[in-house]
Structures are given as C-alpha cells and as structure tokens.
C-alpha cells in the first residue's frame, strides 16, 4: 500500500485502487492492491486509535500520537498472534492424541456397531 499525502498529478500505469481518506484531521491518498472498502476500513481503524490515544488533547504532536497508536496496534497484533499460536498448538496436540487413539483402535479387532432401531431391523426381515 502506498500513501501520498499530496497528489502530484503524475499518472502511473500500475493498476492499483486509489482511495482518499482522512486520518486524524489530515487527508491522504492511498494506493494499494486491496479493495477500496478494505483500505477505508483500515484507515478508519488507525484514525480511531489515534483519537483514543489523545482523548484529552494533551499530546500536541500528531507524530507522537501516531507513534503511540502504532505501538498500541502492534501490541494488539502480537497478543492476537500469540493467542492464535497457542490455539493452533492446542489443536495440533489434540489432533495427535485423536490420531493416536484411532491408530490404536485400528490394530484391535473392530466390534460390530450396535443396531439402534430394532423395530426397523425386524420389519426388514419380515418382508421376505
């Protein structure tokens, strides 16, 4: 994704989606391969995070607000990534245990499955 703060009027031959967004009071032209809705959603997310950081208006530098927002976003990303990693490890462990149980069951002589609906079984025999 490419961000231009000011448009230069230069045309490019690369097919990219272009979206004009407003983040923390500044307008940006963003060009990227993602669809425009996705680019707008990301821009709104960043704008929201920056506004949350500076609710009181005490931080005067937009750069400081942007850096703090970036740190918070990175923190959320790493926490989510770590949680997903733990979840995947849990799924893999469970899958290995289930596979081990299945493999152990295959080596034993299988028992026939119980017939649950005996009335239907009887009616099938009586049709002969």
| 34-81 per-position pLDDT tens digit | 999 999 999 999 999 999 999 988 999 999 999 999 999 999 999 999
Domain limits, the chain: 2-105
Name, in order, each residue with C-beta under 8 angstroms of 19's C-beta and a sequence gap of 6 or more: 29, 30, 31, 32, 36, 39, 40, 43
| 86-125 per-position pLDDT tens digit | 999 999 999 999 999 888 877 656 567 676 655 555 555 5
pTM score > 0.85 for this model? no
pLDDT reading at 11 higher than 50 = no
pLDDT computed for residue 43 by the predictor: 97
pLDDT reading at 29 higher than 60 = yes
CA distance 59 to 49: 14
pLDDT computed for residue 104 by the predictor: 84
């Amino acid at each position: 994704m490419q961000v231009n703060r000011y448009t230069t009027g230069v045309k490019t031959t690369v097919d990219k989606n272009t979206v004009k967004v407003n983040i923390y009071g500044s307008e940006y032209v963003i060009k990227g391969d993602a669809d425009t809705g996705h680019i707008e959603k990301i821009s709104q997310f960043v704008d929201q995070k920056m506004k949350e950081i500076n609710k009181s208006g005490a931080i005067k530098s937009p750069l400081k607000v942007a850096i703090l927002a970036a740190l918070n976003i990175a923190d959320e990303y790493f926490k989510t990534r770590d949680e997903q990693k733990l979840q995947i490890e849990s799924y893999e462990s469970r899958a290995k245990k289930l596979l081990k149980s299945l493999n152990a069951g295959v080596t034993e002589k299988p028992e026939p499955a119980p017939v649950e609906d005996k009335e239907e079984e009887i009616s099938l025999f009586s049709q002969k």
